[in-house]
Amino acid sequence: MNLIKPVWLPEKFKVNFRACKLWAWRIHRELYPFGNRGELRATAAINGLRLRSHLRFSRKCSGGYTLTRIHYVIVGIVATIVTLSGVPAQAGDDLMERALEAFKPIPSVVPAIKGNAVTHEKVELGKLLFFDPRLSASEIISCNTCHNLATGGVDAGPTSVGHGWQKGPRRSPTVFNAVFNVAQFWDGRAVDLKTQAKSPIQESVEMNATPDHVVNTLSSMPGYVELFKKAFPNEASPVSFDNFAKAIEAFEATLITPASKFDQFLEGDANALNAQEKAGLSAFLGKGCAGCHYGINVGGQDYFPFGIVETPGGDVLPPADKGRFTVTRTASDEYVFRAAPLRNVALRAPYFHSGQVWSLKQAVGVMGTAQLWAKLTDKEEDDIVAFLDTLTGQLPRIDYPILPVRTNNTPEPSFK
């Protein structure tokens, strides 16, 4: 098994309990599917050096599995050996090469979706559905209300407001590039965009509708019936809640933002980033940010505890929101969240699932103290923010839709 993806350890790796937590966490998570037994090869890279460790776990337990201090120490020692066995970083390391080990550029073509061909007809239908407030109970809230394509695919925050002016518990995640995330929502409770699309529309604090309301509303408008027929040909009942979700997934798959300065850099243009941005990228890799924020979305690929080094204040990490724990009911998933995907992050203040940090520099600082083992200097924070600014890509131009006309059979809004 080679389960662990490349992990970037901090440049100055200190062997202490806290420093091992993140590393232990990732090993634990990979083992977990095998009943807490197993072996794995962990791969790490520091400054372009690829390091490997081979680790066996044989702990057997019943019920909830919690990482203990002993586990952290064991794994920490392993990690340290791995680290120390590496050759020290070379001054002449190629930043682009290191970046390419951690990240991938956003493709310029729409990615394929397994089991849901992204056809022109489906995308066009999905766009209408995404913008149609009449699918919510009140008929004034659309997907775009909270995932506003005019403002980075999110609302103004801090957390979303839905039916009856109820405040949701978390910051709206962006739909831009969401197709590249390992799963959807801050806690990853939806395996894909199709599954995600079915959730907010039914949530009582969001759109507060039912699948029946959605299907009845869509079926009442000949304009929609025709579009569903075209998007799902050869189906006996094209207007269905499943197909509603599939069409939205197809549209959202097109919401990718290629051609950022960082993408140009990854694609070989060494001059796409200026000196400060390169310094920021170097710090991002070297300080361990890329340990969680890696892959095509510079995040969004895996789950990590928030507060691995130091627990943030209750405003940033509200005690009541236990994150992925509510999905897995596993104690070790308490305060675990999907690493935020950082594409276009500069467009999306306020930050974190709580939406309580309005400045990107401050957010970088919080990450430094909460997740890393060295407080970032002011210059490092500025450099990292400069690098994060280069993650803003070309947002797709959207032709604002003209929606099918309601009929006398269309359900009326309900505000209760």
Q: Which residues of the shown chain bind a copy of itself in the complex (CB under 8 A)?
A: 131-134, 138-140, 145, 148-152, 155-158, 161, 164-165, 167, 346-347, 349-350, 358-359, 395, 397-403, 405-406, 408, 412-413, 415
- Could you tell me the end-to-end alpha-carbon distance of the chain, in angstroms, rounded to an integer? 53
Instruction: List the structure tokens of 293.
Output: 């924020």
- Least distance from a copy of itself to the Cβ atom of residue 395, Å: 5
Give the tokens for residue 93: 């390391």
- 139, 206, 380, 381: the catalytic one is 206
In the complex, least distance from residue 383 CB atom to a copy of itself, rounded to whole angstroms: 18
For residue 305, give the DSSP letter: E
CB of 282 to a copy of itself, least distance (A): 25
* Longest distance between any two alpha carbons in the chain, whole Å: 74
Q: What whole-number distance in Å separates Cα of residue 367 and Cα of residue 243? A: 39
How far apart (Å, rounded) are the C-alpha atoms in residues 144 and 149?
Answer: 7
Least distance (Å) between residue 30 CB and a copy of itself: 38
| Minimum distance from residue 202 beta carbon to a copy of itself (Å) | 19
Distance CA 75, CA 29 (A): 13
Count of CB atoms situated within 10 Å of the CB of 178: 25
Closest CA to 24 of 271, 309, 237: 309
Q: Of 64, 41, 66, 61, which Cα lies nearest the Cα of 53?
A: 41
262/294 with CB nearer a copy of itself: 262
Task: Please identify, using beta-carbon distances, which residue of 133 and 307 lies nearer to a copy of itself.
Answer: 133
Q: Which CB atom, from 109 or from 165, has the smaller least distance to a copy of itself?
A: 165
How many residues appear in the chain? 416
Q: Which is nearer to a copy of itself, 170 or 194 (CB)?
A: 170
Residue with tokens 């909830």: 64
Minimum Å gap between C-beta 48 and a copy of itself is 34
Q: Is residue 297 a contact partner of residue 348, using CB atoms and an 8 Å limit?
A: no
b/e sequence 86-114, b meaning 16+ C-beta within 10 Å: beeeeeebebbebbeebbebbeeeeeebe
Amino acid letter for position 174: T
Q: Closest CB to a copy of itself among 56 and 416?
A: 416
Query: Residue 412: which residues within 8 A CB-CB, separation 6 or more?
Result: 139
Does the active-site annotation cover 252?
no
Cβ count near 1 (within 10 Å): 10
| Nearest CB to a copy of itself, comparing residues 91 and 150 | 150
**Residue positions annotated with a catalytic role:** 206
